Structure 1
């Protein structure tokens, strides 16, 4: 790994470590770039396990200070991980255009109406809804890449063939729009239902750009062998040509 484009810190409220701890670890491990990508704050503050709206000014000031401090050692990128919430798209644009959060990750953990958790138990209707909403989000043109597209395999009880059909719909749009897809090392590290081997075998049928990200929530996980190294081996085994560097 020479760059990690998906990193969380204590500011997201369910990770540990200061922003500077992650930057210093990235420098120690010889990374050329690291993106700090907290879950985007919302003015409604509807999730206590995410950064709160009023915390953003202090967070942004700290991140800007550290970008300047380490500018001669590593490229630090400002980003946010976002669900596809139509009611929040203007705020996403505001963070991008006014504050420089140019890397907006689509990580669709909850459906767009905030009525269902995509980690929860689900059947075919929920799997299709997830695919429909991810595709709708991708077509907004706001998002830089798609994180853990196979996250709804957590708790899925329906037909595997149906689920793979929905993943194929997503990959077809990623191919059409040239949007990279992430194989997520945090899921691999924690032995979750993703990355799902069947999904990534399927992905090879499409002309995609693949990347591996740590999705670190602890400093020690930024470039770890158990997570990142294991995911890299997983991709090699499947013959997936992972891209390591992007000009973001």
Structure 2
């Protein structure tokens, strides 16, 4: 069974096309379940739309949910359309986000850390003047945030858990015990992580997380799922079969998707 739980669309301001185009692309590729998971608004900000090129406006969120629900009905019998959202994790605003999400019938919520100390994880300039010790501390803060997101109970999936390497591949070489400790914590919290194939669109190439992290995730009993992180319809389910084969080589026997916040296990 082919599925893809991580897709975006034009509301976020940096993806192309309406939701329906992603659904149609999924049908063409034989996908059985397509998750729509655009970037959550910045609910903790006083302005309705503080970052138009990053996430949708808060006032647009209900329209987003309603559109996905309408398309879920329209395409029933052809493909299962799942209502998701990729949520930023800001500990200081967690309760506000939690309250808003409780109003809607989500199939799953992806929790992603996109900022560390107020700076985007994709900002390659942050590394230029740091000492080796400071680089290690930055990586540890990143995984501390991911650990907090796992413990929050807000999320079904943790998104791209080593995406900080996207424009700084040397990130993977920074040695710290924080990575393994975080994977252990994720396993204890029984949260799934995604294999996200959008790394191929960045300097680092490949996918998130790297194979060595997946091996450790398996050791700690972490469940896995799949997300292309498509920002254009053509990338829906991108590298799905490749990822499936690699997971089997590593030793995984199943992966999962979600329906009504319940995990559905699928044999690899």
- TM-score, normalised to structure 2, is 0.80
- Of 43, 56, 70, which residue of structure 1 is paired with 2:61? 56
Q: Which residue of the partner structure matches residue 116 of structure 1?
A: 119
- Residue 51 of structure 1 deviates from its aligned partner by 0.8
- Residue 22 of structure 1 deviates from its aligned partner by 1.3
- Residue 244 of structure 1 deviates from its aligned partner by 4.5
- Residue 98 of structure 1 deviates from its aligned partner by 1.2
Describe the shift of the 1:188–1:236 C-alpha distance in structure 2 as closer, same or farther (beyond 3 A): farther
Query: Any conservation in 1 of the 2:158–2:192 contact (CA below 8 Å)?
Result: yes
Kindly report which structure 2 residues correspond to 1:78-157, keeping only aligned pairs within 5 A, or say none.
Answer: 78-111=83-116, 115-121=118-124, 122=127, 123-154=135-166, 155=168, 157=170
Query: Any conservation in 2 of the 1:185–1:215 contact (CA below 8 Å)?
Result: yes
Secondary structure, counterpart of 2:101 in structure 1: helix
Describe the shift of the 1:157–1:220 C-alpha distance in structure 2 as closer, same or farther (beyond 3 A): closer
Secondary structure, counterpart of 2:35 in structure 1: strand
Kindly report which structure 2 residues correspond to 1:1-248, keeping only aligned pairs within 5 A, or say none.
Answer: 2-43=2-43, 44=45, 45-49=49-53, 50-111=55-116, 115-121=118-124, 122=127, 123-154=135-166, 155=168, 157=170, 160=173, 162-163=175-176, 165-188=177-200, 190=202, 192=204, 194-195=207-208, 196-224=210-238, 227-247=239-259, 248=262
Describe the shift of the 1:81–1:57 C-alpha distance in structure 2 as closer, same or farther (beyond 3 A): same
- Residue 90 of structure 1 deviates from its aligned partner by 3.1
Query: Any conservation in 2 of the 1:2–1:245 contact (CA below 8 Å)?
Result: no
Query: Any conservation in 2 of the 1:188–1:230 contact (CA below 8 Å)?
Result: no
Query: Any conservation in 2 of the 1:6–1:37 contact (CA below 8 Å)?
Result: yes
Number of residue pairs matched by the alignment: 243
Secondary structure, counterpart of 1:38 in structure 2: coil
- Residue 242 of structure 1 deviates from its aligned partner by 4.5
Structure 2 gaps, min length 5 = 128-134, 263-268
- TM-score, normalised to structure 1, is 0.86
Query: Any conservation in 2 of the 1:22–1:222 contact (CA below 8 Å)?
Result: yes
- Residue 71 of structure 1 deviates from its aligned partner by 2.4
- Residue 219 of structure 1 deviates from its aligned partner by 0.7
Secondary structure, counterpart of 1:199 in structure 2: helix
- Provide the C-alpha distance between the structure 1 equivalents of 2:236 and 2:57, rounded to a whole number of angstroms: 24
RMSD, aligned α-carbons: 2.4
